Amino acid sequence: MLDLLFDASFMASVPRFVTPILLAALGGALCERAGVFNIALEGFILTGAFAAVLGSYFSGSPWLGAIAAMAAGIAIGLVFAEFHLRRGGDAIVVSIAINILAAGLTTYLLRAIFDVMGAFSDPAIVGFQPVRIPLIADIPVLGRVLSGQSPLVYVALLAVPAVHIFLARHRLGLRMRAAGENAAALEAGGVSPRRVRLWALVGCGTFCGLAGAQLSIANVNLFVENMSAGRGWIAIVAVLLTRGRPLPLFLIAAIFGTVDSFSFRVQGLGLAQQFTDMMPYLATLMVLVALSWWRKRQTA
């Protein structure tokens, strides 16, 4: 039974599930550290997924699809910035509006552009091809996990240390941390926290756009209404649990992604879909409980 669950093809599928959560969470981490309470990751991802399909369909290149996804993510980030940073709207209200807007807008555009409802699949949508990494591909089991994934998986893996170093050592990263912790002190030094947060939203849009592209033109080659399916929310939980620190974030995202992948797997083995759909959220609750227990022990 266990062999059936944890075979090589399951292992190979894990990165596909981890990557969208990880990318979105890295974007969310920038917002978290810069003091923007962005809970619109779901909307950001969904917009990115749609734009990726759009870009790939019309250009025939998954890379242009990914660029379109990033551009769409940044655009949504700028909408967030306009209403939250410039017009002073509450971050939660703006987030909810963006989540609803993204769901409605993608559904509408799906109909307006492709004249379909629900899902759009077409041979003209060119997805990313797996990248075979020499040498690593020949390692048993691990080779199938690390090699043969979409380019975006590697982008996500490289982004973890990159974001870590950016926050630790880059001027803008330092200022983002300051904007999130004591914005008044940053302002007293003559740097506008709003401008710093704008960059965090731009970065968040970029990462979430890529998360969407991984969903729509790497994992599959189609767009389905509401295909982000809660991954943005799980990414937010990961961000809040780790307070936006990239390295622990990677661990949490890996756990959630693995459970996500696992739930898909056991569904194939005949377990009720209603139950398997619940698993990522059960895992979230379990991590929350475990973490609070652990923190309590640390302080006691």
Residues lying near another protein in the complex (CB under 8 A) are found at 169-172, 174-175, 177-178, 181-182, 184-186, 188-191
Q: How far apart are CB 34 and another protein at their closest, in Å?
A: 13
109: which 2 tokens? 């555009």
Class of residue 33 by CB neighbours under 10 A (exposed 0-12, middle 13-18, buried 19+): buried
Closest CB to another protein among residues 111, 295: 295
Q: Smaller CB distance to another protein: residue 9 or 299? A: 299
State the minimum distance, in angstroms, from the CB of residue 298 to another protein: 13
- Maximum alpha-carbon separation in the chain: 62
In the bound state with another protein, the residue whose beta carbon lies nearer, of 190 and 270, is: 190
What separation in angstroms does the CA of 264 have from each of 61, 150, 224?
29, 19, 17
If you write DSSP's letter for every residue of 222-248 in order, what string do you get? EEETTTTTTHHHHHHHHHHHHTT-HHH
**Is 144 within 8 Å of 8 (Cβ atoms)?**
yes
Burial letters 167-180, b for 16+ CB under 10 A, else e: beeeebbebbbbbb
Least distance to another protein, CB of residue 70, Å: 20
The Cα–Cα gap between 32 and 244 comes to 6
Length of the chain: 300
Are the C-beta atoms of 12 and 145 separated by less than 8 Å?
Answer: yes
CB 45 within 8 A of CB 232: yes
CB of 58 to another protein, least distance (A): 33
Q: How far is the CB of 156 from another protein (least distance, A)?
A: 21
Least distance between another protein and beta carbon 190 (Å):
3
Residue among 258, 285, 280, 279 at smallest CA distance from 293: 285
| Closer residue to another protein in complex, CB, 86/170 | 170
What b/e sequence results for 135-164 when a residue is b if at least 16 CB atoms lie within 10 Å of its CB, and e otherwise? eeeeeeeebbbbbbbbbbbebbbebbeebb
Nearer to another protein, 30 or 94 (CB): 30
Shortest reach from residue 144's CB to another protein, in Å: 35
Nearer to another protein, 88 or 190 (CB): 190
| Residue number with CB closer to another protein (117 or 185) | 185
The contacts of residue 172 (CB under 8 Å, 6+ apart) are 166, 196, 199
Closest to another protein by CB, 132 vs 170, is 170
Question: Would you call 120 helix, strand, or coil by DSSP?
Answer: strand
In angstroms, give the least distance from the CB of 172 to another protein: 6
